[in-house]
């Protein structure tokens, strides 16, 4: 059994150095929803120092809303937006002597692409057009996951150990009561279970099958570094190897 | 018969000085989709010098998309967004010895509010909470128009002489063929007709009733200054008074 | 003996809720270098709930650089920039049933104003033009401090317990070795000493007089909440009252 | 005798389509001071349709100030900033079946690099690191010109026919009276003279030698399209070939 631990970094939130020792994939912001070329370079360097796989983390050009506001954007524009951000991260990685490994869309772009097949296909085209060997991080059972597969990409199913799931394997929206699990121990034991069983207990009590290739640690939450360390040691104690998905 | 000629200004597009002699209402950007505090001040000063009525022109905080991308935003946030921008324009006007007269939402915010009653109501609340005597510029027959009326505001119906209309009085989307009328003479004669008859010839040939209190001149189009001058003199030649709506 | 504990908040860095129980002044970002109208409102509400004095925290319109890049800006433009941001915070405070208490410029604007008398005077004019009773937070012995005094404002001298000082009372630049003190216990004992003695041990070993009315806790550093709590309890244990400066 | 006519495009100012028939080099904004990935793609396509040479037009990440505000930025960060923007324009050009030809820094970055050798060298390194065959557009006699030459780049000397020059070949700052020449006929005859004689009449009446390889038409000024057409036909009537500098 194997799992990847990923976090969003390069977003200027101060945790990057504390997270890197524990995570195995770093999704690096490219300057659209957060970050800038210098932060990007420094973050890529940090990931290389820690042997963490580097991913592009493209988001809407929306610093005010931190890329969390849904925008209506034609698929062709979304493709340009994503491609431009992949290029920036890829070039920064090359400049620092590395290369990129995966792409994880950010915030509203990720959520919209999970349910909108045309947007998802545009993102998959942007990735495949750049490098067919990149891995797409996407929610299991989502339009984005399907678009990646249909577009010939390897797709890693991403799960959230601190979020409640519906019976259909989708996330309970943050605005609903009980959507976010706060207790660190509960998150850790839930993560172990999700990875070992590839199943999750949904909010209605039902037991749901859920592919889990990578677990997300939110890189902008106070205490995220402690959580990342706990997850890593709990996985290892449970005999689950922690490593980035193979390219 | 009377009409107002309005244009969006303070957006950094270079036409403001050339438009001011001809328009009667200036919708001034507040720094969210375009502009900044210094441009705002200078634009307000220019409007005061020309006796042009000053309006706030609030838009999404989206410089990359010039406020033309639709965003999903909770109504409470939209209310904060609009109020903040009204305040900035109002204070700039006061500082320069004037006061604001109207509010016209910009771009995607205007289009979304035209069809979404909850968003429209949030905008109306932002305006009424600031000053109940401000005039809201809104498309005739729209949710925004209705929300302004229901919220106790005076509402001026805004029409576009360079755009095709559907049978229900809504605009033909820009993405459709024939949506935008390019010929300057056609625009001018159409404007005269719209104002005099309060009717418009729709794309399907039908004749549609359409309240027209203010005509928009697009302030970011090459040649807009010439068009504004032509409209003004054509209105006056036709015996139509050109003036801002009374507060 | 009395001291104020201040922190920059509303910058989207996740610590605000954890800092509020310990600080007495909150400098709230206004959407130029960070934040947005909704974050602003929520932050002001949080400060009011905790009885924390609300200040405006105006910065350069530079989200990419988090307001930390020095910009060349005419004093008149700086005045507009600062005034616009004071207004936004003041209006948010009023809407939530409070009012603002102080102004602390952010990042590069603060640093530039500390040494540039014309810029400092423009900031003082912006504040005084809005409300003469607002308190300006400024480095002791700086051009900004002097401009506030000359402009008829009350000025609170702000010190940094985690930074080394030069013999002339200025901060050792961050780029120099030893500029930032990392050890939490050293920071706390240094803070106690600065406040009690109104003096600081400079990097050259000399003992320097330094007015200290308010101590800054950096709100964007992991562990800042723990530091704020330690400072607060250490001050109280030392018989130093922790309270915002009186308006 | 030969000259290039260049203009800044892709900045969202509405003139691009009207300028393209007359110019021979297009400096395309990359989304830092203006533009976005979709505008970039569309602008590159337009340039290719008109056979206009495509250049990157990197500027400060300062939409609020349109890249016209000087920022203090470490040379290494400037290098990252410029490289990132070259990449974006280069990739857009490749995607549309073309390739980039030159680099012209924008606004404050251009002005600062003209006088600051370290910043100029950082820009030259960014260009050379990407492609040594790119042409740098720089003011004659400037630090930027020298840094390009020293860095092994071909450099085209850029002149402004609508600006007054000092005796040392530098531009009279815009804030000085007489700095900008408004009269279109004067601009055109001045341009002819500058190109034919490689000299200019300075403000003090002296006659100054000035290398002129490319003339800039400001792409954001009303009437710039008419000026571009006039310059083009005047050059051709004077027997001066209008063409982009050879790579």
Residue C125 has what pLDDT? 98
Spatial CB neighbours of B40, under 8 Å, sequence gap ≥ 6: B10, B28, B29, B30, B31, B88, B89, B92, C80, C84
Provide the number of CB pairs (under 8 Å) joining chain A to chain C: 29
Judge contact between B3 and B190, C-beta under 8 A.
Answer: no
pLDDT, tens digit, 9 for 90 and up, residues B11-50: 987 899 999 999 999 999 999 999 999 999 999 999 999 9
ipTM over 0.95: no
Contacting C with CB below 8 Å, chain D residues are 61-62, 64-65, 69-73, 108
Here the tokens at position B17 are: 């000085």
Q: Subunits with at least 3 CB pairs below 8 A relative to chain B?
A: A, C, D
Mean pLDDT of A166-195: 93
Q: How confident is the model at residue A197 (pLDDT cuts 50, 70, 90)?
A: very high
pLDDT, tens digit, 9 for 90 and up, residues C25-69: 999 999 999 999 999 999 999 999 999 999 999 999 999 999 999
Q: How confident is the model at residue A220 (pLDDT cuts 50, 70, 90)?
A: confident
Q: Do B87 and C83 touch (CB under 8 A)?
A: no
Neighbours of B118 (CB within 10 A): 12
Here the tokens at position B172 are: 């033909």
Which secondary structure element, helix H or strand E, spans residue C208, and what is its range?
A: strand C207-209
Judge contact between B217 and B6, C-beta under 8 A.
Answer: yes
Q: Do D222 and B12 touch (CB under 8 A)?
A: no
Q: Subunits with at least 3 CB pairs below 8 A relative to chain D?
A: A, B, C
Task: Write C169-178 long-range contacts (CB < 8 A, 24+).
Answer: C169/C140, C169/C141, C169/C200, C169/C202, C169/C208, C169/C209, C169/C210, C170/C114, C170/C139, C170/C141, C170/C142, C171/C139, C172/C203, C178/C203
Here the tokens at position A125 are: 């085209």
Interface test with A, best of B33, B58, B60, B72 (most A CBs within 10 A): B72
Residue A239 has what pLDDT? 97
Q: How far is B87 from chain A (nearest CA, A)?
A: 19
Cα separation of D197 and B145, whole Å?
A: 63
pLDDT, tens digit, 9 for 90 and up, residues B219-244: 878 889 999 999 999 999 999 999 99
Residue A206 has what pLDDT? 95
Cα–Cα distances (Å) from A153 to A78, A122, A129, A145, in that order, read 18, 13, 11, 10
Q: Subunits with at least 3 CB pairs below 8 A relative to chain A?
A: B, C, D
Per cent of chain D over pLDDT 90 is 92
Among the partner residues D13, D18, D64, nearest to B14 by beta-carbon distance: D13
Cα separation of B118 and B108, whole Å?
A: 15
Q: Which of A126-130, A170-174, B151-155, D45-49 has the lowest mean pLDDT?
A: A170-174
Residue A175 has pLDDT above 90, yes or no: no
Q: How confident is the model at residue D181 (pLDDT cuts 50, 70, 90)?
A: very high
Residue C221 has what pLDDT? 82
Residue D38 has what pLDDT? 92
Phi-psi category of C18—alpha, beta or left, where left has phi over 0 and alpha has psi -120 to 50?
Answer: alpha
Tell me the angle at which helices A184-197 and A224-237 cross, rounded to the nearest 10 degrees. Answer: 40
Q: Which of A211-225, B147-161, C138-152 has the lowest mean pLDDT?
A: A211-225
Mean pLDDT of C87-91: 95
pLDDT, tens digit, 9 for 90 and up, residues D150-173: 999 999 999 999 999 999 999 998
Helix (H, G, I), strand (E, B) or coil at C234: helix
Mean pLDDT of C111-133: 97
Instruction: Give the sign of the dihedral formed by CA C38, CA C40, CA C41, CA C46.
Output: positive
**Average pLDDT score, chain A:** 95
Helix (H, G, I), strand (E, B) or coil at A213: coil
Residue C175 has what pLDDT? 83
Q: Do B71 and A73 touch (CB under 8 A)?
A: no
Residue C179 has what pLDDT? 93
Instruction: Give the sign of the dihedral formed by CA B116, CA B122, CA B128, CA B131.
Output: negative
Spatial CB neighbours of B51, under 8 Å, sequence gap ≥ 6: none
pLDDT, tens digit, 9 for 90 and up, residues B45-77: 999 999 999 999 999 999 999 999 999 889 999
Residue of D nearest to B33 (CA): D64
Cα separation of B191 and B4, whole Å?
A: 11
Interface test with A, best of B32, B71, B76, B84 (most A CBs within 10 A): B71
Residue C240 has what pLDDT? 98
Q: How confident is the model at residue D13 (pLDDT cuts 50, 70, 90)?
A: confident
Q: How confident is the model at residue C7 (pLDDT cuts 50, 70, 90)?
A: very high
* Cβ burial, residue B48 (10 Å; 0-12/13-18/19+): middle
Residue C219 has pLDDT above 90, yes or no: no
Among the partner residues C36, C40, C87, nearest to B88 by beta-carbon distance: C87
Mean pLDDT of C78-100: 95
Residue D63 has what pLDDT? 92
Q: Do C18 and A225 touch (CB under 8 A)?
A: no
3-state per-residue secondary structure call for B10-53: CCCCCCHHHHCCCCCEEEEECCCCCCCHHHHHHHHHHHHHCCCE
**Average pLDDT score, chain C:** 95
Judge contact between B232 and B22, C-beta under 8 A.
Answer: yes
Residue B213 has pLDDT above 90, yes or no: yes
Helix %, strand %, coil % of chain D (to 5): 40, 20, 40
- Number of residues written out for chain C: 247
Residue C174 has what pLDDT? 84
Residue A54 has pLDDT above 90, yes or no: yes
Among the partner residues B37, B80, B81, nearest to C81 by beta-carbon distance: B37
Residue C173 has pLDDT above 90, yes or no: no
Neighbour-count burial for C83-120, b at 16+ CB within 10 Å, e otherwise: bbbbbbbbbbbebbebebbbbbbbbbbbbbbbebeebb
In degrees rounded to 5, what are phi and psi of residue C242? -105, 115
Residue C111 has what pLDDT? 95
Q: What is the end-to-end Cα distance of chain B in Å, rounded?
A: 17
Residue A223 has what pLDDT? 87
Structural Rg of chain C based on CA atoms: 17
Residue C133 has what pLDDT? 97
Mean pLDDT of C19-24: 97
Judge contact between C5 and C22, C-beta under 8 A.
Answer: yes
Mean pLDDT of B106-110: 97
Residue C150 has pLDDT above 90, yes or no: yes
Cα separation of C77 and C85, whole Å?
A: 13
In degrees rounded to 5, what are phi and psi of residue C7? -145, 150
- Number of residues written out for chain B: 247
Among the partner residues A15, A36, A65, nearest to C222 by beta-carbon distance: A15
Q: Do C222 and A220 touch (CB under 8 A)?
A: no
Here the tokens at position A223 are: 């205490």
Phi-psi category of D139—alpha, beta or left, where left has phi over 0 and alpha has psi -120 to 50?
Answer: beta
- Number of residues written out for chain A: 247
Here the tokens at position B102 are: 């109207």
Residue of B nearest to D15 (CA): B222
């Amino acid at each position: 059994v194997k799992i990847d631990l990923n976090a969003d970094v390069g977003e200027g939130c101060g945790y990057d150095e504390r997270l890197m020792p524990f995570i195995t994939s770093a999704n690096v912001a490219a300057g659209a929803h957060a970050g800038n070329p210098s932060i990007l370079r420094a973050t890529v360097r940090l990931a290389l120092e820690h042997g963490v796989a580097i991913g592009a983390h493209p988001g809407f050009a929306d610093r005010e809303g931190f890329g969390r506001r849904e925008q209506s954007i034609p698929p062709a524009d979304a493709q340009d937006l994503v491609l431009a951000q992949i290029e920036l991260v890829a070039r920064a990685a090359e400049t620092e002597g590395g290369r990129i490994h995966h792409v994880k869309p950010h915030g509203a772009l990720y959520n919209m692409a999970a349910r909108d097949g045309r947007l998802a296909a545009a993102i998959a085209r942007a990735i495949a057009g750049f490098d067919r060997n990149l891995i797409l991080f996407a929610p299991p059972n989502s339009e984005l996951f399907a678009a990646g597969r249909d577009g010939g990409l390897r797709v890693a199913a991403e799960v959230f150990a601190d979020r409640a799931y519906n019976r259909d394997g989708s996330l309970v929206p943050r605005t609903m009561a009980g959507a976010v699990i706060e207790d660190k121990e509960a998150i850790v034991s839930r993560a172990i279970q999700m990875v070992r069983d590839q199943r999750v207990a949904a909010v209605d009590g039902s037991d749901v099958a859920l592919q889990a290739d990578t677990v997300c640690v939110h890189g902008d939450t106070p205490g995220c570094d402690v959580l990342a360390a706990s997850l890593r040691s709990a996985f290892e104690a449970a005999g689950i190897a922690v490593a980035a998905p193979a390219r």
